[in-house]
Chain A
Amino acid sequence: MLIPCPYCGARDSHEFTYRGAAVGPRPDPARPDAADAFHDYVYLRDNPAGDNAEYWYHGAGCRSWLKVVRDTTTHEIKSVTGAGGEVKP
């Protein structure tokens, strides 16, 4: 599988590590239902047969955390962006 890293170009998936579904943002710990919100943030995941937004880390490349939209049935990659907006140069 090739992942088109926005900084490095198309690179083999071996250079990346997978974290999981791109959930977030991290809940506000001060909100009254913070325990429930963090429970959902940490544990609840959809398991779609189709497009899934995921975090991938280009550890053997530019070290960027990326948000990758991947079709879980075909591994087709629909989009790749920096996971938290643009990485500072």
Chain B
Amino acid sequence: MSRLSSGGFIDRSRIVKFSFDGKSYSGHPGDTLASALIANDVKLVGRSFKYHRPRGILTAGSEEPNALVSLRKGARHEPNTRATMVELFDGLEAFPQNVTPSLSFDVMAVNQLISRFIGAGFYYKTFMWPASFWEKLYEPIVRGSAGLGTTPNVPDPDHYEKASAFCDVLVIGAGPTGLMAALTAARSGARVILADEDYLIGGRLNSEKVTIGDRDGAQFSAAVAAELVAMPNVKVMSRTTVFGVYDDSYGAVERVSDHLAVPAPYQPRQRLWRIAAKHTVLAAGAIDRPIVFDGNDRPGIMLAQGVQTYINRFAAAPARRMAFFTSSDGAWVAAFDAADAGVEIAAIVDARRTVADRLLAEARRRNIRTLLGGAVTAAHGSPLKSVDVVADGKRERLAVDGLAMSGGYSPNVQLACHHRGRPQWHPEIGALLATDPPPRMKLAGAANGSYALSACLADGAAQGAEAAVAAGFAAKTVALPRCQDDPVEVQAYWHVKDTAHFAFVDFQTDVSVKDIEIAAKEGFIPVEHLKRYTALGMGADQGKLSNFNGLAIMADITGRSIPEAGTTIYRPPYTPVSMGALTGHHRAKDFRPTRLTPTHFWAKRLGAKFVETGMWLRAQYFPRPGDKDWLATVQREVTAVRSSVGMIDVSTFGKIDLQGPDVGKLLDRVYVNTYSTLPVGKARYGVMLREDGMVMDDGTTAHLSDDHWVMTTTTVNAVKVFSHLEFCLQVLWPDLDVRMASISEQWAQIALAGPNARKVLEKIVDDPAAVANEALPVMGAKEAKLMGGIAGRVFRLSFSGELGFEVAVPARHGEKLAEAMMAAGKEFGITPYGTEALAMMRIEKGHVSGPELNGQTTVADLGLGKMASKKKDYIGRVLFERPDLTDENRLGYVGIVPVDKRNVLRAGTHLMPLGAAVAVANDHGFVSSATQSPTFGHAVGVGFLAGGAKRIGEKMRAYDPLRGGDFEVEICSPYFYDPQGERTRV
């Protein structure tokens, strides 16, 4: 056991059992999976992506590139979690990834032997030829070796939420800088959100031994966090990663239940936050950079900050005997902490020739050997057994089982680059800093290159105050606590020259120095090319640890400075975000809302089958015992309507209430036909165009009283037509005096159709005389009292081709209306019908619908050209008159019947001249809608044919390769049923 006997922020009174790679271990509450593995002496945690090299834990943070593990089994299985971010819970099962077949023995490690052949650009060079090898050989190889981990193949049982938050000041990162920024802004009265990815507030204060005022770092952060939590204007969000900066908002994910085996009842697994902040302080800290040397990826090699965190925060020693390899003062302090915890320090190797006397004195006091101007040139063993060190020309091998490294700090500027601000090189601290952050974001503390604790506290307080003032608050000064600073000098150091093959730059994508040399040799020199050619920085860590070293090495190779070599920017997300969180509740049936018609439950009681039409759930047909299949049901419904009476809910049509003296004028301008002359008490069918001359929508509009009209639109275009009318009224013709409101949801509307429709209607309206043939003629519209005083509307409209009425009542009476119609129609055998019978009858009747109003048809194409007024302007008129849109050989509306009446006609079937070969050149048109008509006893269809009605009587070949149809059809008028409309007038 490498658990230290004391210290750390773990609850030693409780034991947490977990397993990794099938073996059982124990840890304590407060541990991460990584710290518990270290405490259990587990050094090997995974295999690398390309070469299957054994890898250990490199860091203690979200930048971890190596320790990617899968968690849990079954539906909650989750690949690619970073062991450094996984809070330990009882019963946690974790598994290594990319191991074939096992972590300790991996056959794919043979890739290391052929590594000289599978370096950068390998895919592009190898899988080029012969082309026939691609599908059978290359693609399976590439797919088989790509990706890490596996996704579960059963649905996620947990749910995810989305939420919004608003604040004056958003502080990202709850280390010393962020705590002071939040405290200062909060005491000034600003609404503050403090977000941190960790579950323990304090950042590096929990990892370093510091004194602030009269408290240690952890006590200080706990006290500030407690004050913040108690303030009503502050929201402290731990376990929350701000992952992206968008336009005027931040994306964040809160891991509500990731630290539990199963979320608590009614709790989500994760919550996606959209945070709108007036001002932001980015206090995300800085992370150690690895040094590139031969074997720098061996298990047992760790970044110095990580070593310090495991020792101080988790009381887990990563090794018994360690060397430190650095060019940064911070690693010396980490070495002192390790030594004080009982780890034997073989040497501190510093690339710098001089370091602060303070550090040398501290090292001497602990009898730690120091090698200045030195380097580690190679590491051996897996796990690590020794390192080769060179200093002052002397080489030696140190027997160690741990090595800590730090080539300086990389400030966490990622979020500051999300608006394309490119970080700039600052040689004085050897780091890239964000100089062009997104609007209203300021960086502070280590994220901005200020590493000393006192500077972080002061910078945080200053930026917190500035943000509060910018948000309109008077800043309250917060007394800065005294503290003693550890030395923080750094010199950027990234590459031990003349290293052999396995000197890794990017641990996650297995990019080595050799790969960068290949890229340079082959001309992929600009940093964006380097990245794509080698996959540098393209892992899930987005190159947090590798981008700088990669571009610095490329700069060395090409003899340029770092600014000349260029820098890359970062994009969201800062760390990977689960698809579940992004999806939230919007999955499966909850992907979008379901709209129910006013008669939905009535139809359900009658056993209706439903169909989704857009968001609506509509009754599709009403099966009865004895119906052979759905087609028999639908044909029975149609026959019932044609012979007696049927009813259907048509509430889903868009309904728009229009009022004002200029409604007629508006309608004249949006419809091709004229409305201003339509008398009160009448309705008219109209077609409206887009300005490009194509048909947009159709429907009927009724004139109810002088200044009052009600328009219907098709179901799918209800929203579009409404906003179109708003555009017309507000932008095109603001002088028109018209008010409008959508009443689609407010009115239930049921169509009654069939020879007995009036007899049913008479029993529902309070005054039967009002619906007599003369009182309510074809296309008549009037307000009427129904079912004992309910104010409704009755329209004499027919979509079926039979005598028809549409009855509208306030939506709350919809079900009552349906019941009343059923009762009144009982003696006539009234039959409820659904959308299938509706469609069947409209095809028999030749009415155009969705498949015909497809956005590519003109009013003339639809056979409705005569409706278009020549006497007035309307939207779309000018462009509708373009020569190509009035060409008489355009696809025009026709009817189609099979010559052999046994054939089934299907929508989508192509129309070709008889005997013509199957070729695009012979494609003259297509069937847009077809049905098995019970009225005619055979298939009837409508569609579009070049030349249109001119070709009525012609025989053609109907070719449907998808469903195997190929037979002769005759072109006819599309108005199959009662073309003169006599049945509607009785």
Contacts and interface: CB of A to CB of B under 8 A. Distances in A.
Interface string B717-756: 0010001001100111010000000000000000000000
Contacts of A76: 439
A19 B726 CA distance: 13
Contacts of B419: 74
A63 B731 contact: no
A34 interface: yes
A56 B695 CA distance: 23
A64 B276 contact: no
Interface in B365-424: 419
A25 B733 CA distance: 10
Interface residues of A, number: 34
With most chain A CB atoms within 10 A of its CB, the pick from B691, B734, B882 is: B734
B881 A83 contact: no
A84 B877 contact: no
Contact of A85 (B248, B276, B692, B734): B734
A1 B873 contact: no
B678 interface: no
B526 to A, nearest CB: 22
Contacts of B732: 24-26, 84
B879 A42 contact: yes
Nearest to B439: A76
With most chain A CB atoms within 10 A of its CB, the pick from B249, B731, B877 is: B731
Nearest to A66: B730
B691 A38 contact: yes
B878 interface: yes
Nearest to A17: B723
A75 B726 CA distance: 25
What is the interface of chain B mostly: helix, strand, loop, or mixed?
mixed
A88 B662 CA distance: 15
A34 B731 contact: no
A2 B246 CA distance: 11
B498 interface: no
B247 interface: yes
A34 B878 contact: yes
Contacts of A55: 727, 731
Given A26-B732, A75-B247, A84-B734, A57 B727 contact: yes
B111 to A, nearest CB: 44
A24 B879 CA distance: 16
Interface in A17-72: 17, 19, 24-27, 29-30, 34-35, 38-39, 41-43, 55, 57, 59, 63-65
B248 A2 contact: yes
A63 B247 CA distance: 23
A65 B731 CA distance: 7
Contacts of A26: 691, 732
A48 to B, nearest CB: 18
Contacts, number: 64
A29 B731 contact: no
B730 A82 contact: yes
Nearest to A22: B731
A87 interface: yes
Contact of B248 (A1, A43, A57, A59): A1
B878 A59 contact: no
Nearest to B729: A84
A87 B731 CA distance: 9
B878 A35 contact: yes
A34 B873 CA distance: 12
B27 to A, nearest CB: 43
B779 to A, nearest CB: 29
Given A29-B878, A38-B879, A39-B879, A63 B734 contact: no
A83 B731 contact: yes
Interface in B206-263: 246-249
A75 to B, nearest CB: 4
Contacts of A59: 719, 723
B691 A41 contact: yes
B879 A35 contact: yes
B688 to A, nearest CB: 15
A76 B440 CA distance: 13
Given A24-B731, A65-B731, A82-B730, A38 B878 contact: yes
A72 to B, nearest CB: 12
A64 B734 CA distance: 12
Interface string B547-575: 00000000000000000000000000000
Contact of B727 (A19, A29, A38, A88): A19
Nearest to B246: A1
Contacts of A41: 691
B727 to A, nearest CB: 5
Interface string B683-716: 0000000011000000000000000000000000
Given A2-B276, A57-B727, A65-B730, A35 B873 contact: no
Contacts of A17: 723
Contacts of B276: 2, 12
A34 B280 CA distance: 53
A34 to B, nearest CB: 5
B874 to A, nearest CB: 9
A55 B873 CA distance: 24
A81 B884 CA distance: 38
B730 A35 contact: no
Given A83-B731, A85-B734, A63 B691 contact: no
A30 B871 CA distance: 12
Contacts of A27: 878
A70 B246 CA distance: 15
A44 B248 CA distance: 31
Nearest to B737: A88
A43 B878 CA distance: 14
Contacts of B877: 29
Nearest to A25: B732
Contacts of B246: 1
A65 B691 contact: no
A63 B879 contact: no
B246 to A, nearest CB: 8
Contacts of A57: 723, 726-727
Contacts of B249: 1-2, 12
A30 B249 CA distance: 48
Contacts of B247: 1-2, 13, 75
B254 to A, nearest CB: 20
B692 A42 contact: yes
A83 B730 contact: yes
A65 B726 contact: yes
A5 B734 CA distance: 19
Nearest to A67: B731
A41 B693 CA distance: 13
A88 B723 CA distance: 16
Contacts of B692: 42-43
Contacts of A85: 734
A43 B879 CA distance: 11
Given A64-B730, A87-B730, A29 B873 contact: yes
Given A17-B723, A59-B719, A84-B730, 20 more contacts: A1-B246, A2-B247, A12-B249, A24-B731, A25-B732, A26-B691, A26-B732, A34-B878, A35-B881, A38-B879, A39-B879, A43-B692, A55-B727, A65-B726, A65-B727, A74-B419, A75-B247, A76-B439, A83-B727, A83-B731
10 contacts: A1-B248, A2-B276, A17-B723, A35-B881, A39-B879, A57-B723, A57-B727, A64-B730, A65-B727, A84-B730
Interface of B: 246-249, 276, 419, 439, 691-692, 719, 723, 726-727, 730-732, 734, 873, 877-879, 881-882
Q: Which 7 A-B pairs have the closest CB atoms?
A: A1-B247, A84-B731, A2-B248, A38-B878, A84-B734, A75-B247, A29-B873
